[in-house]
């Protein structure tokens, strides 16, 4: 049982985490969907676009494995995160200078700087995830991370639209527009770092017995429930990244969309995602994260296949909305399942392995997509539509072969997929017992007196 002072520090940290995430979301909105367009402006080939996704994923995967040891040497999780994230903020500066300084092999320099930036921004996930799992009790993770993610998603979209407007405004001097975006990203990353620095880090659970090494965990990855889930999740991401980097190429190069049209179509997915985060979060808290993963896993393979049949803007907006609905539940419940299934004293290691395997899978998927895309036959007028079909079919095979091997780790009531989606498994008593998650200072009594005190 935590003291009143500790509960106050936890409540304050959860609010600070929302502010941290909000500033981070502004940075993402300014940059995430505009790395590939910048590469296209620098005349990148399809193969180089694949490398732009795969090389950062590979180096990030390797760096994940070093994170637990580095955090331990730093003395605390925050002690490791703070200097790394400061370097991450400053790495946007060389990226914005690429078009001005590197007139030869500019794309290769961009790939190099983006790789370093991605590693610095991602390697802190294991200690951050471990710290947040200690701050947020299991029974509130779905609602808390859903609400936090919804706020972050809204801010990401606002700055995504702003970034599209900036690039349109600077269309006659496009690299100046990109410089404005990445300069803004530096500022918001520094603001995010400030909020993170003020958060409370709970003491880590430490057992007297020395836990298993990373290599021992990796050797046994296929024999545990969490290990099977990590492999399943990573294989889905592998199949997704076969096509993932090329939807932007398809819209800007093949369909000839303007930046404004590109922003409008691309934003439908994230908007749908943020609208359904709390929808999935409440259901995951009540009926378990795995049930949400199971439902959304059968929607995820359909998304790239739907891109094959029409290039009408309104049709693609609808397809992206379906994508956001599916991925919001899959991503939120997937990460929370990893939190639930990992032992607290070894959680940083488990999350490092999760990130490493998933990062490697993303790398190989993007590499494979970049390699096979130019060699595929044309379907419905475009080669990339064939790539979308391949990605969708492979996702479906992974779901059919691997999902049934994973078991829920929490004690939850049974519910059909239809009841979960419609909420018909709820009743008034359940709703009163569960309560509404809020970021206001006053908390429901069961939270304040309980075991409390993570977009």
pLDDT reported for residue 444: 35
Question: How far is Cα 45 from Cα 35, in angstroms, rounded to an integer?
Answer: 14
Q: Does 156 score more than 80 pLDDT?
A: yes
Residue 450 within any structural domain of the chain: no
pLDDT tens-digit readout, 29-50: 999 889 989 999 999 988 898 8
- The set of residues, in sequence order, having a beta carbon less than 8 Å from that of 183 and lying 6+ positions away, is 92, 93, 96
The beta-strand segments (E) located in 135-228 are none
pLDDT reported for residue 76: 84
Buried b / exposed e over 153-186, threshold 16 CB at 10 Å, is bbbbbebbebbbebbeebeeebbebbbbbbebbb
pLDDT reported for residue 434: 45
Residue 84 within any structural domain of the chain: yes
The kind and range of the H/E element at 302 are helix 302-306
Residue 332 within any structural domain of the chain: yes
Averaged confidence pLDDT in the chain: 86
Mean pLDDT of 379-393: 94
Question: How far is Cα 20 from Cα 7, in angstroms, rounded to an integer?
Answer: 20
Confidence of residue 211 (pLDDT cuts 50, 70, 90): low
* Whether the Cβ atoms of residue 412 and residue 288 lie closer than 8 Å to each other: yes
Long-range contacts of 73-78 (CB under 8 A, 24+ apart): 76/201, 77/127, 77/128, 77/130, 77/131, 77/201, 77/204, 77/348, 78/127, 78/131, 78/196, 78/197, 78/199, 78/201
pLDDT reported for residue 222: 83
Question: How far is Cα 63 from Cα 79, in angstroms, rounded to an integer?
Answer: 17
Residue 444 within any structural domain of the chain: no
Q: Does 23 score more than 50 pLDDT?
A: yes
Confidence of residue 66 (pLDDT cuts 50, 70, 90): confident
Of all residues in the chain, the percent with pLDDT exceeding 70 is 91
Question: How far is Cα 44 from Cα 36, in angstroms, rounded to an integer?
Answer: 9
CATH of the domain at 125: 1.20.1250.20
Residue 447 within any structural domain of the chain: no
* Whether the Cβ atoms of residue 216 and residue 386 lie closer than 8 Å to each other: no
Question: How far is Cα 120 from Cα 33, in angstroms, rounded to an integer?
Answer: 18
Least confident among 26-30, 214-218, 364-368, 394-398:
214-218
Q: Does 207 score more than 80 pLDDT?
A: no
Q: What angle do CA 382, 387, 389 make, to 5 degrees?
A: 100
Question: How far is Cα 415 from Cα 292, in angstroms, rounded to an integer?
Answer: 11
pLDDT tens-digit readout, 266-297: 989 988 988 898 899 889 988 999 999 999 99
Confidence of residue 74 (pLDDT cuts 50, 70, 90): confident
pLDDT reported for residue 443: 36
Confidence of residue 182 (pLDDT cuts 50, 70, 90): very high
Residue 110 within any structural domain of the chain: yes
Mean pLDDT of 169-190: 95
Residue 454 within any structural domain of the chain: no
Domain count across the chain? 1
Confidence of residue 455 (pLDDT cuts 50, 70, 90): very low
Residue-range definition of the domain harbouring residue 237:
4-201+220-436
Least confident among 106-115, 143-152, 292-301, 394-403:
143-152
Q: Closest by alpha carbon to 270, among 328, 315, 312?
A: 328
Burial of residue 116 (CB within 10 Å: 0-12, 13-18, 19+) is middle
Confidence of residue 429 (pLDDT cuts 50, 70, 90): very low
Residue 245 within any structural domain of the chain: yes
């Amino acid at each position: 049982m935590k003291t009143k002072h500790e509960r106050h520090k936890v409540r304050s940290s959860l609010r600070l985490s929302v502010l941290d995430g909000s500033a981070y979301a502004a940075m993402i909105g300014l940059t995430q969907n505009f790395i590939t367009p910048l590469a296209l402006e620098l005349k990148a080939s399809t193969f180089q676009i694949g490398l732009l996704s795969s090389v950062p994923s590979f180096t990030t995967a390797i760096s994940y494995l070093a994170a637990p040891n580095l955090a331990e040497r730093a003395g605390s999780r925050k002690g490791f995160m703070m200097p790394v994230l400061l370097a991450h903020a400053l790495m946007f500066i060389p990226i914005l200078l690429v078009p001005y300084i590197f007139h030869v092999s500019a794309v290769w320099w961009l790939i190099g700087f983006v790789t370093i930036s991605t590693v610095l921004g991602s390697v802190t996930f294991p200690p951050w995830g471990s710290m947040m799992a200690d701050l947020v009790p299991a029974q509130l993770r779905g609602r808390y991370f859903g609400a936090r993610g919804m706020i972050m998603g809204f801010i990401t979209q606002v700055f995504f639209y702003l970034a599209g407007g900036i690039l349109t405004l600077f269309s006659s001097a496009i690299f100046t527009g990109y410089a404005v975006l990445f300069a803004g990203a530096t500022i918001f990353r520094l603001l995010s770092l400030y909020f993170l620095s003020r958060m409370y880090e709970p003491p880590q659970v430490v057992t007297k017995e020395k836990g298993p090494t990373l290599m021992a965990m990796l050797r046994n990855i296929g024999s545990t429930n969490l290990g099977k889930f990590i492999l399943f999740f990573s294989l889905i991401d592998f199949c997704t990244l076969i096509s993932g980097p090329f939807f932007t190429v398809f819209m800007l190069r093949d369909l000839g969309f303007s930046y404004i049209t590109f922003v409008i179509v691309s934003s439908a997915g994230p908007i749908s995602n943020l609208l359904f985060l709390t929808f999935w979060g409440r259901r995951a808290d009540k009926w378990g994260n795995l049930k949400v993963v199971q439902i959304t896993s059968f929607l995820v393979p359909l998304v790239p296949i739907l891109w094959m049949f029409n290039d009408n803007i309104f049709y693609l907006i609808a397809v992206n909305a379906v994508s956001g609905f599916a991925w919001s539940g899959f991503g939120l419940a997937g990460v929370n399942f990893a939190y639930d299934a990992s032992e607290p004293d070894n959680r940083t290691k488990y999350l490092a392995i999760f990130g490493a395997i998933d990062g490697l899978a993303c790398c190989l998927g993007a590499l494979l997509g970049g390699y096979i895309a130019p060699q595929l036959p044309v379907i419905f007028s475009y080669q990339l539509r064939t790539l979308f079909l391949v990605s969708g079919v492979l996702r479906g095979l992974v779901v059919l072969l691997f999902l049934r091997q994973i078991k829920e780790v929490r004690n939850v009531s049974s519910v059909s997929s239809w009841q979960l989606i419609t909420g018909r498994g709820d009743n008034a008593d359940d709703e009163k017992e569960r309560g509404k998650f809020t970021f206001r200072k006053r908390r429901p009594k069961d939270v304040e007196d309980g075991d409390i005190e993570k977009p």
